[in-house]
């Protein structure tokens, strides 16, 4: 599979999983946290799928398309490992983390802190959607609702 095909497959799984969880999230109280604004495509998607819901977005810097930049009060700049700590206990309904790099060694470092952080940000029953696996005793992996291969994008529920 070429990198282009792999990317399309990953984005298809990402879209399918977000579309699956958004109606569930709409029934719950709690913030939505977007870890990794990037171009802002998934932020834009979440804003469309969850109208009126507060979405707080994290990144090192703003590099998004002008149509997809959060309001200043919903934008948190800096290293997520640090900035995310201030939100511990916030009881978010959804955390979406798209901060994988495609480099195993770098993603292994992220895996040492991201699952713990996400578990501490979510309410019980809340959802984590992630581009990298989230191994944590309080994050139950669910079968991804997509026809793409299981390792493309990950869905967990907070126990």
Residue 50 or residue 99: which is nearer to ligand SAM going by CB? 99
Residue 81 or residue 123: which is nearer to ligand SAM going by CB? 81
Side-chain half-sphere of 85: how many Cα atoms within 13 Å?
6
Interface with ligand SAM, residue 41, by CB under 6 A = yes
Q: Smallest distance from the beta carbon of 131 to ligand SAM, in angstroms?
A: 7
Applying CB under 6 A, the span of 24-32, 76-84, 116-124, 146-154 interacting with ligand SAM comes to 76-84
Interface with ligand SAM, residue 40, by CB under 6 A = yes
Residue with the closest Cβ to ligand SAM?
Answer: 38
Question: 157: which strand partners?
Answer: 127, 140
Interface with ligand SAM, residue 39, by CB under 6 A = yes
Q: What is the 3-state secondary structure (H, E, C) of 59-100?
A: ECCCCCCHHHCCCHHHEEECCHHHHHHHHCCCCEEEEEECCC
Interface with ligand SAM, residue 49, by CB under 6 A = no
The CA distance from 116 to 15, in Å, is: 24
If 0-12 CB within 10 Å is exposed, 13-18 middle and 19+ buried, where does residue 89 land? exposed
Question: CB neighbours of 25 closer than 8 A, spacing ≥ 6?
Answer: 32, 50, 53, 93, 94, 126, 127
Interface with ligand SAM, residue 130, by CB under 6 A = no
Interface with ligand SAM, residue 42, by CB under 6 A = yes
Number of residues that bind ligand SAM (CB under 6 A): 15
Task: List interacting residues with ligand SAM (CB under 6 A).
Answer: 36-42, 59-60, 63, 79-81, 98-99
């Amino acid at each position: 599979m070429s990198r282009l095909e792999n990317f399309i497959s990953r984005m298809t799984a990402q879209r399918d999983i977000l579309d699956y969880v958004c109606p569930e999230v709409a029934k719950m109280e709690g913030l939505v946290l977007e870890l990794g604004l990037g171009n802002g495509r998934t932020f834009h998607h979440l804003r469309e799928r969850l109208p009126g819901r507060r979405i707080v977005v994290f990144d090192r810097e703003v590099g998004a398309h002008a149509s997809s930049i959060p309001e200043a009060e919903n934008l948190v700049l800096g290293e997520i490992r640090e900035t995310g700590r201030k939100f511990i206990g916030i009881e978010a309904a959804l955390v979406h983390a798209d901060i994988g790099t495609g480099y195993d060694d770098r993603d292994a470092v992220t895996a040492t802190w991201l699952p713990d952080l996400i578990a501490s940000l979510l309410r019980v029953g809340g959802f984590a959607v992630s581009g990298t696996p989230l191994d944590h005793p309080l994050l139950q992996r669910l079968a991804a609702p997509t026809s793409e291969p299981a390792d493309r994008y990950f869905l967990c529920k907070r126990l």
